[in-house]
Structure 1
Amino acid sequence: MVLGRGTRWLAGAMTVACMALIGPSASAPGDALVARPLPAGAVGDIVPNRVMTWNICNPCKESNVDRAAEIATYAPQVIGLQEACVGDVEKIRHQLESLYGLVYHVEYGMVLRNRGRCGGLPWHPGEFGQAVLSAAPMTDRVSVEYPDGGSEDRGYMAVTTMVGGRSVRVFNTHLAHLRQEAVRADQVGVLATEVARHDRAIVLGDFNAVPDAPELTGIWALATDTDPMCRPSPTGACEPTTDWHSKFDYIFLRGIVPLEHGVHPTPYSDHHLLHTDLRPT
C-alpha cells in the first residue's frame, strides 16, 4: 500500500506527538539490545556477598544498556538504585539477563509520578523513586514516603533477602536535596527508628550529606560505613562518591562485617558506583 503525501504527513505527526507524550525516559539513546563488552576483570557471575548502591541520575537520558553494563561489571547480589524510573529499571533488569545472563528479582519504593522524569501519558505518568534488585527473592517489602520530603518527595524502602548466605534486612533511601539540613535530620530520624529494630541490616542510599553532617548523627549511632577509614569527623578519610568530590553515597552496616569496598566513577551518572563485599557466614 502506498500512502499519499497527506497521509504520510499525518502518520509522522502522530508519531512525533506520541513520542512527546511518552517522555524522555521511555527510550534512551543506545537502548538497542547490543551487549557492551565488559572490561577486563569483570566478575562474570553474581557475587553472593556483594551489595551496591548507585544513584543513576535522572533526568540524564543515559542508555540503560550502558547502565546494565556498569552493574554487570561488578555483578552484586543486591543493588539499591536511586532516582530510578520503573520503566528504566525494567529495561536494566531485562538487559542484565538477556545480555549478561544475570537474573535479578526487583522491588520498588516509588514516591513520585512524574512524566517529565519518567515518561508516560499525561493521565498515567511514570513512577520515580527507589528500586532494589536482588539475585535472591525478596520478602516483607515496605515503602515509606517521608512526612516531609523537602523540595521533592523522598522516602525509603526495605526488603528482606539473602546476602552472603544469610537473611538480612536491606534499606534503600534518598534524602532531601542540599541546603535542607533540618529536613534530612527528620528523615534520618524516621529511617533510624526502623533500622534500629533489626540486629542485622544494610542501609544503602544517597544521603545528600557529607559524613560529618549533623543530620546523619542518628544513623551513625546505629551503624558503620563500609569504609573502615570513614568516620563522622572532619578528619575522616572518606573516599568521594560524586563528581563534585563529596561523599554522599553510603553503605551502612549494622551487625555485619565488611571485607573490602570499591568506589567506581562512571560517565553515566554524577554519582559513582559504590559496592562492598561482606564477610560470608
Structure 2
Amino acid sequence: MTKREFLIRAGLLLLVLGIITTLVVLDRTRGNDRPQAEPTPTSTPSPSPSGTVVPLPTDKPGKGETDVIPTPPPGIEAIACQKLQQSVEVTVLDFNTHRSYGGIATVAAEIAAVDPDIVLLQEIDRFKGGTGNIDQAAYFAEALGMDHVFGANVTSGNGEYGVAILSRFKILGSENYLLPNGPGGEQRGLLGVGVEIGGQEVRIYNTHLQNKLPGLREAQARHVAGILANEENPIILGGDMNATISTPTLAPLTAQLVDAWSVGSGPEGTGPNGSRIDFLLASPTIVPQRAQVLGSAISDHSRLLADFVVPASTDCPTQPRDAKPRKKKSRSGG
C-alpha cells in the first residue's frame, strides 16, 4: 500500500468513526428521553412450606436499555467520498516582483490585497546583499500565512536568485529543474510543487524564461513542455515567459495547456513595454473563470490574477482536502 493510499483510507476511517460516534450519542440521548415506567409495587418474598425464603425473580433489562453501537448505514463510504469530492475555486497570482527593490513590505501588501490561494513569484532574492540579505520567499510566506518553496537558479557567494511558490494548500513535495543555458544567457529554472486540492494532487509550476536570446528562450520553453508532458496530474503553470502569445516560445506550452486569458477582461499588458508576457496556463480540466491584470507600485511588471475551478477527483475513496473552498472577496485591485 502506498503512502497516498494509506492516507486516503485513514481519512475515510476517521470520517466513518466520527459518524458512528455521532449515532451512539444520538441513540443514548433518545434513551434518556424515553417515558419512565410506573414504579412496580414491592413484593415481600414469601416463605416456602419448609420455611425457606424463596427470592422473587428479578426484572430483566428492557428492550433498548443496553449500550449497543449502531451499525453504520449501508453505503456510508460512498456517501463520505461524495462529500469529500467537491470542485474547488482557486485564486492564483503570478507576479514578477522586480526583486522588491522598491520595498518588500509593499510587495507583500500588493499580494495580500488580492487574497490568493497560490502565488507564483519571479525575481526572488535569498540573502543577497543588494536587497538587504533577506530570504524574500520566507518573508512573503510569513507575512501571508502560507507554505512556500524557493527554487534557486543563480548562486553568488552566499546569495541566491530564482523563483518561489506560495500556497494556502499544504505543499506535498517540490522539485527545481535547471533549464537549458548557453553563451550570453542567465541560468533559468522550472520550480514545481504538488498540492492537494479537491481530493487530488494538482501540480503547480513556476518559471522565468530567458529575456534576451529568442532561440535559447524557445529551447527552454520546449524543455518545460517536455517535463509537463510526463505529468499524470492536473497542472497549473505560471511565469514570466518574456514572449507574447503569438510567438514560437508559447506554442509548445499552449499545445498542452489552456491560457487563462481566454476569460480575461480589461488591459492585458503585464511587462515593462506593455506587452502580455506573463502567463497563467492550466490543464484543460482546470477551467479558468476570471482573469485580470493589476498594476504594481513597486515592480516593472503588473500582477496577473486568475480564478480557476479545480474539478473534484473522480477516484473513490479520496483524501480529505487541506483547505475548503472559500467565499471570494470582492477585489479592489489594490
Unaligned 5+ runs, structure 1: 1-46, 97-102, 115-123, 231-236
Aligned residue identity for 1:278: F
* Structure-2 change in CA distance of 1:259 and 1:155 (3 Å): same
SS in 1 for 2:95: strand
**CA distance in structure 1 between the aligned counterparts of 2:241 and 2:197, rounded to whole angstroms:** 23
Aligned residue identity for 2:141: R
**CA distance in structure 2 between the aligned counterparts of 1:240 and 1:106, rounded to whole angstroms:** 27
Shift of 1:130: 0.7
In structure 2, the partner of 1:260 is: 290
**CA distance in structure 2 between the aligned counterparts of 1:203 and 1:189, rounded to whole angstroms:** 14
Shift of 1:159: 0.6
* Structure-2 change in CA distance of 1:278 and 1:164 (3 Å): farther
* Structure-2 change in CA distance of 1:247 and 1:48 (3 Å): same
Shift of 1:95: 2.4
In structure 2, the partner of 1:33 is: none
SS in 1 for 2:113: helix
Shift of 1:162: 3.2
**CA distance in structure 1 between the aligned counterparts of 2:209 and 2:241, rounded to whole angstroms:** 5
Q: Share of identical aligned residues, percent?
A: 29
Aligned residue identity for 1:261: A
SS in 1 for 2:169: coil
* Structure-2 change in CA distance of 1:212 and 1:191 (3 Å): same
Alignment partner of 2:159 out of 120, 126, 132 = 126
Aligned residue identity for 1:248: I
Unaligned 5+ runs, structure 2: 1-87, 127-134, 312-334
Q: What is the correspondence of 1:153-192 to structure 2 with a 5 Å cutoff?
A: 153-163=187-197, 166-178=200-212, 180-192=213-225
**CA distance in structure 2 between the aligned counterparts of 1:265 and 1:165, rounded to whole angstroms:** 34
Shift of 1:165: 6.2
Higher relative contact order (CA 8 A, sep 6+): 2
Q: Does 1:49 align with 2:90?
A: yes
Q: Number of residues paired by the alignment?
A: 212
Q: Does 1:112 align with 2:154?
A: yes
8 Å Cα contact 1:78-1:163 kept in structure 2: no
In our comparison, the structure showing a higher alpha carbon Rg is 2
**CA distance in structure 2 between the aligned counterparts of 1:240 and 1:163, rounded to whole angstroms:** 30
* Structure-2 change in CA distance of 1:70 and 1:217 (3 Å): same
Q: Does 1:246 align with 2:275?
A: yes
* Structure-2 change in CA distance of 1:276 and 1:226 (3 Å): same
Shift of 1:261: 1.2
Shift of 1:164: 6.0
**CA distance in structure 2 between the aligned counterparts of 1:159 and 1:216, rounded to whole angstroms:** 22
* Structure-2 change in CA distance of 1:238 and 1:201 (3 Å): farther
SS in 1 for 2:286: coil
Q: Does 1:144 align with 2:177?
A: yes
Alignment partner of 1:208 out of 235, 242, 251 = 242
In structure 2, the partner of 1:74 is: 114
**CA distance in structure 2 between the aligned counterparts of 1:240 and 1:251, rounded to whole angstroms:** 13
Aligned residue identity for 1:126: G
* Structure-2 change in CA distance of 1:256 and 1:48 (3 Å): closer
8 Å Cα contact 1:144-1:157 kept in structure 2: yes
**CA distance in structure 2 between the aligned counterparts of 1:62 and 1:166, rounded to whole angstroms:** 39
Alignment partner of 2:306 out of 267, 276, 279 = 276
CA deviations over 1:107-162 (Å, ceiling 9, x no partner): 11111123xxxxxxxxx422110110011111231101112165211011101113
Aligned residue identity for 2:181: D
**CA distance in structure 2 between the aligned counterparts of 1:110 and 1:61, rounded to whole angstroms:** 19
8 Å Cα contact 1:79-1:134 kept in structure 2: yes
**CA distance in structure 2 between the aligned counterparts of 1:165 and 1:206, rounded to whole angstroms:** 29
Aligned residue identity for 2:163: Q
8 Å Cα contact 1:50-1:164 kept in structure 2: no
